[in-house]
Amino acid sequence: MFDIKNTTRKNNPSLPFQKIKEKVLGKNYELSLVFIGDQLSKKLNNQYRKINKATNILTFNLSKTEGEIFINLNLAKKQAHKFEKNYTNFIGLLLIHGLMHLKGYQHSSKMDKEEEKIRKFFKI
């Protein structure tokens, strides 16, 4: 199962979300992808990470086969240029990053290499 929910007034970026998810986690992984704004991002970040500010992505591993990703569309739009990406590709980059965490990767050069493979495959 793959569920996408948008709690903002912005349109969903045009990306092959399900194909990206399946490439990283497989077809049997259950993922909920939620697009949020600054207020909910700040609330969740404070609640779960004790950081009282909005963040661009939050990832929650619920089990070995189930997880949630929250992407802050407002912050992503503001940050895309810092990463030399357009808005849509930056959302894709964030998604891939979150999927890698769900797969069990921690920040490392190995994670960076795996992310790069997926980004190249989807031209992100």
Domain total of the chain = 1
* DSSP 3-state percent helix, strand, coil across the chain (nearest 5): 50, 20, 30
Structural domain range at position 87: 2-121
Q: What is the CATH number of the domain that holds 13?
A: 3.40.390.30
pLDDT in tens, 93-111: 999 999 999 999 999 999 9
pLDDT in tens, 40-92: 999 999 999 999 999 999 999 999 999 999 999 999 999 999 988 999 999 99
Instruction: Give residue 36's identity as a one-letter amino acid code.
Output: I
- All residues at 6 or more sequence positions from 73 whose CB lies less than 8 Å from its CB, including other chains: 8, 10, 13, 35, 36, 37, 91
Q: Are 89 and 53 in contact (CB under 8 A)?
A: no
Give the model's pLDDT for residue 123: 94
